[in-house]
Structure 1
Amino acid sequence: MWGYSPALDLLEEITLLSPKSPGEDGRKQLNILLIGNCDGRHIFKTLAQLQRLGADDVAVTFYVIEKSLEPVARQMLLLTLALEPADILGLQEKTILFLEVYGNTIIRPTSYNYIIQKAHQLIHMVTDFDYLAARMPIINIENLKYKERDALETIFKFWISTKASQLNTEFLWDSRLRRSLTNRYDSKLGVFDWDYHMKLCKAGQESISHAEYNKWRLKGIAFSWHDRVLSKSNYTLISGIQKVNGEIVSFGYTGDIENGPFATYGLTKDIGDGKRKIQNPRKCTTACLKEVMTMLSCIIRSTESVVIPDGNELEGTVLADDLQQNLCSLTDKSEDFQAEESARKIFDKETYSAAPLGPVKVVYLPLLFQSDIHLRDKFRNVFDAIVISHNSIDSLNSNLIKTAKSNSIIVVETLNFVLPPQKGFHEAFVEKIEKLANDSNCKPIQLLDGEEDFYRRFEVVTE
């Protein structure tokens, strides 16, 4: 459900090779293919840089291929959240909402209610393309097959169903933990301590505190906010959602229980406490708050100042008045009138549009395109950059290279942040990447200062 490497500014990646020539309308036309990256982090990071630079002369289209539709559904939700106008959702609360939905198995009631509200809107979007174009013009799902659009609708319906409300992610997490640790379950704190000190820290990830890592391994909570109560299950992390004999079922939580969602926004060089940073129990949370708040502020070109809140300020953050009233009215309804009014607001289509972004599109492609996108003529020699996740490296082959422009860049995620099951695992994985790239006639791009820890980069070479 998340990557194991930092979010990339793909405009910067593309300029590693050469600037692209403007299109017929005077804009630089950039096409970027993302394969199996799950969480959309590269989209958000690139959008933030586009907006920060005011680069309205750059037209960027992200083409996204995933292995399943649950990541597509989560990306649509997170895009909707990120592009909420400032008068609808404040920057500070938006950041906290983003991080909770992104990386916590247990969330606040406010975050849970936000998911419920937006699930209704996302159902409207996937069933009404005119509404999608008006409410979220950045998203394009027209290339998806009919059955895939139906599957997306099923996922959104699951989020708001009684079937989902009966799931207990704490129980699901503990069950996974018991199966994973077997006879070591009773000494799990010792296992977590060993993994942290002997694996995570040795991999250079001291930016995550021991307390944060332990809390993640125990309960699946990566980000917490002091006295804020986390009491609701995050159903957006549930996998295998499908309709069987008219009933929506799922596989439960089948995601990561070892590494956590820290790498994408928390592994920054400046996490700042000097020698005391190792003693800070919330240092990765603070780093993520800073990174995500800055990113979301840039995306909507917010005029709010980016100030990382302390504990007391976090307790005081609220949604904008209208939205807060809608969310709170979803629970503890004491009067029929309140319930009817709430239902009308939640179920009806929202009448506002997402924050404007300029010439940017996120196009979701069918799942089967991961293996046969090269068979579509319209994707021959199209992409300026291709980003491949660690679990999709088999996509890197001579067929995929047919979709790339000459001298385009290929970025492949390594597993250097993943806790290795055995010695030499990381090295063997990198060797596999380099062999696949070499067989595909791609030339390595060498960077300085260890910047290749999380990625390997290659240039497409045409004969």
Structure 2
Amino acid sequence: MSAGRTVEGAGCVTWWGFGPARDLLSAGAVRQEGKRNVLLVGSGDPRHILKTIAGLRDTDTLHVWVIENSMEVVARQLLLLYLSLITPESMGLNEKTEVFLELFGNSEIRCQTEETLKHVAAQHSLSVTDMLDKCTPSHPCLDTSLLKFRERDELAQIFKQWQHPHSNPASVFKAWDARVRQHLGTRYDSRKGCFDWDLTMKLHQKGCGVINKQQYIKWRERGVAFEMREGLYQRANQSLLSVRVFNHRGDRVGLRGYWGDIVSSPYLSFGIETENKDLLKTQNNQHVKTAQDISVANVQMLFESLSARGGHHYTPQLVSECAGSQNISNKHTVETQPQSDQSANDETESPQQSQDSTVNQTTEEETQTVKTASEIQTEVNKQPETHHRTHQLELINLHGVTVSFLSLDSLTKLAQKNRYSHLFNTIYCSASMVHHLDSSLKQIAAPDAILIVELAKYLLDLSKEQEATFAGKVGEIAKGVGFMPVHKHNNDAYAVFTLQKN
């Protein structure tokens, strides 16, 4: 689907998906068992990975292969998967859930959460840059060895940027507000009415009544979806910032800011469906629980399933031993020197690499975005670097589960490699990546393969006609690459197909 003006609210970077988490092995008519290989194309977040792992039996093995369209999204996937694998001894269930959801859906986070982000960034930075070193911290479930060297270098730069950020909350809010102004245009002054309309007349009508009005409007205003504590949410969430390239007066300008969804919300991934029907109870036609409550319950359930799968056989990351340091206790914390108030440089920085080969054309509104980003530079100062003593965190070893990340341009090349010939039992594709599907899919799909495609149900900028047209186009593309519909849910966010028998 093209990232045209009609879907500007969805953004050009998929930080979270536009549909709830699914057990991908249960999508077909019969649940898949045994040794399974799953390909995810543009999923944006690990919701399907976590849900699928939670549904595994003890005798099942799962290899997930992930392709994204930007390294910033790959970095986020690694961050969220790492957090999911932290053992209960290293981080309690409630704390882990809070940190996970803050980093998942908040543009501004607590200082404690920022320290966790910097710690995980330090671990991953070591892992992707020194993979061949025997002392390199690694984890048997997370594999980045199939990425190109330049992609690993870019990952290392992203993690370094998370450790030593150049963005403060004021500039992050300005970046968010600039997106809202660009999206609403002349409706900006009546934005709360627009937010309320999108919620009650669109999301609620699509079955998302659990999304609370106050929480949704606050997210639309500032980008803060999850506030589970009364702490101060005032540190920039670096994992939600990325570079977008514009043509501005004949020059290519890279703007670092927030370029993701500002309309549909991160509540869609974990907060609108639950197996616990008590969380869906209503009183006086109002939901007793909110999408935040459901997100917390669902994420906790997934984390508990991961711990059970790991059997509490932990795999410590030996960072301190490799550095010649003494062993540290099983209860790990992140220690830092006292920090001064965080301040920032300009939101405009040189891009590490264009996220897409297509350079966005400047419009009058985009020119205003460039101006807004430039103004930030005159209002903030440079932050001194914070020196961390990186401690290890124990991670769960999910026996029989591996998540491998493939190069950004690898989808069309998989069919040329024997390793992937008729390998994938399930193939998932996001709405933004459907146009990449072609006939080569038959060469990598197993005989019993299931194709799952995300639809445009929760892309609120689209009309019902556009949504239906997109669903029809998805069916045509699937048929063209050799797949036929398995079943059809009129109210579902995904279309499911199976490979036609020759």
TM-score by length of 2: 0.77
Q: What is the rounded CA distance, in whole Å, between the counterparts of 1:59 and 1:189 in structure 2?
A: 48
1:16-165, aligned counterparts within 5 Å?
16-17=29-30, 19=32, 28-50=34-56, 53=57, 55=58, 57-129=59-131, 130=133, 134-165=137-168
User: Do residues 455 (structure 1) and 499 (structure 2) align?
Assistant: no
Query: What's the Cα RMSD here?
Result: 2.6
Q: Displacement, 1:371?
A: 3.0
Whether the aligned pair in 2 keeps the contact of 1:17 and 1:408 (CA below 8 Å) is no
Which is helix-richer, 1 or 2? 1
Kindly state the Cα deviation for residue 163 of structure 1 after the two structures are TM-superposed. 2.3
Q: Structure 1, residues 160-192: CA drift from partner, whole Å, max 9, x if none?
A: 224245872111101111111122111111111
- Does residue 285 (structure 1) correspond to residue 302 (structure 2)? The answer is no
Cα deviation for residue 19 of structure 1 reads 4.7
Q: 1:89 to 1:132 in 2, by over 3 A?
A: farther
Offset at 1:155?
A: 0.5
Q: Please state whether the residue corresponding to 1:202 is helix, strand or coil.
A: helix
* SS across alignment from 1:76: helix
- In the alignment, which residue of structure 1 is the partner of 2:367? none
Task: Give aligned pairs, total.
Answer: 414
Residue in 1 that maps onto 2:364? none
Asked whether the equivalents of residues 66 and 370 of structure 1 are also in contact (C-alpha less than 8 Å), the reply is no
* Aligned pair partner of 2:262 in 257, 261, 283: 257
The separation in 1 between residues aligned to 2:244 and 2:88, in whole angstroms, is: 33
User: 1:226 Cα shift?
Assistant: 5.0
SS across alignment from 1:385: strand
| Partner deviation per Cα, 1:38-84 (whole Å, 9 max, x = no partner) | 1021111112223xx4x1x2221101000011111011111111111
Given that 2:39 and 2:66 are in contact with CA atoms closer than 8 Å, whether structure 1 keeps it comes out as: yes
The one of 421, 432, 452 aligned to 2:473: 432
Question: Which stretch of structure 1 is more off in the superposition, 141-150 or 203-212?
Answer: 203-212
Paired letter, 1:204: G
TM-aligned CA deviation for residue 330 of structure 1: 4.6
Residue aligning to 1:222? 225
AA aligned to 2:239 is: T
Structure 1 pair 388–292 and aligned structure 2 pair: CA distance change class (3 A): same
Alignment of 1:8 onto 2:22: yes
- Structure 1, gaps ≥5 residues long: 21-27, 243-248, 305-319, 334-341
Gaps of 5+ in 2: 1-14, 246-253, 313-328, 341-385
Alignment partner of 1:232 is 2:235:
yes
CA distance in 2, matches of 1:211, 1:131: 51
Give the secondary structure class of the aligned counterpart of 2:63: strand
Distance change (3 Å), C-alpha of 1:303 and 1:123: closer
Which residue does the alignment assign to 1:445? 486
Classify the secondary structure of the residue corresponding to 1:258. Answer: coil
Partner of 1:388: 429
1:166-245 equivalences under 5 Å are: 168-240=171-243
Q: Which residue of 2 aligns with 1:298?
A: 305
8 Å contact 1:277–1:283 — kept in the other structure? no
Distance 2:446 2:453 in 1: 17
User: Matches of 1:436 and 1:376 in 2, distance apart?
Assistant: 23
For 2:77 and 2:179, the matched residues in 1 are separated by: 25
Q: Distance in 2 between matches of 1:359 and 1:216?
A: 38
SS at match of 1:251: strand
After superposition, the Cα gap between the structure-2 partners of 1:149 and 1:277, relative to the gap in structure 1 and judged at 3 Å, is farther
* Shift in CA distance, 322/150, structure 1 to aligned 2, threshold 3 Å: same
- The alpha-carbon deviation at position 277 of structure 1 amounts to 6.6
How big is each residue's C-alpha offset from its partner over 1:108-149, in whole Å with a ceiling of 9 and x where there is no partner?
111111101111111111012256975422111111111000
The match for 1:411 among 448, 452, 455 is: 452
Matches within 5 A, 1:261-410: 261-269=266-274, 270=277, 271-276=279-284, 278=286, 280=288, 283-301=290-308, 322-324=331-333, 326-327=334-335, 329-332=336-339, 343=387, 345-346=389-390, 350=392, 353-410=394-451
Write the distance in 1 (CA, Å) between the matches of 2:303 and 2:490: 24
**Counterpart contact for 1:4–1:263, Cα < 8 Å:** yes
Distance 1:446 1:223, change over 3 A: same
Structure-1-length-normalised TM-score: 0.83
Change over 3 Å in CA distance of 1:105–1:255 after alignment to 2: same
Output one character per residue of 1:407-455: Cα deviation in whole Å (capped at 9) or x when no partner: 21000111112213334111011001101111122111115xx476111
Q: Which amino acid aligns with 1:345?
A: R
- Which residue does the alignment assign to 1:339? none
% identity of equivalent residues: 30
Separation of aligned partners in 2, 1:211 and 1:127: 43
Query: Do the aligned partners of residues 177 and 136 (structure 1) sit closer, same or farther apart at CA in structure 2, a change above 3 Å counting?
Result: same
Report how far residue 225 of structure 1 moved: 2.1
* Residue aligned with 1:215, SS: helix
Counterpart residue identity of residue 305, structure 2: C
Task: Give the aligned residue type for 1:461.
Answer: Q
CA offset digits 1:218-266 (Å, max 9, x no partner): 1111111252221111010111289xxxxxx753111111111111101
Q: Is the 8 A contact 1:126 1:132 kept in 2?
A: no
Aligned pair in 2 of structure 1 residues 77, 425: CA closer, same or farther (>3 Å)?
same
Letter in 1 for 2:140: P
Question: Which residue matches 1:308?
Answer: none
- Return the alpha-carbon distance in structure 2 between the equivalents of residues 9 and 331 of structure 1: 44
> Would the alpha carbon gap of residues 330 and 2 (structure 1) be closer, same or farther in structure 2, given more than 3 Å must change?
farther
CA 1:430–1:11 in 2, change beyond 3 Å: closer, same or farther? Answer: same
Do the aligned partners of residues 220 and 344 (structure 1) sit closer, same or farther apart at CA in structure 2, a change above 3 Å counting? closer
Question: In 2 relative to 1, CA 10–404 (structure 1 residues): closer, same or farther, beyond 3 Å?
Answer: same
CA shift for structure 1 position 300:
1.4
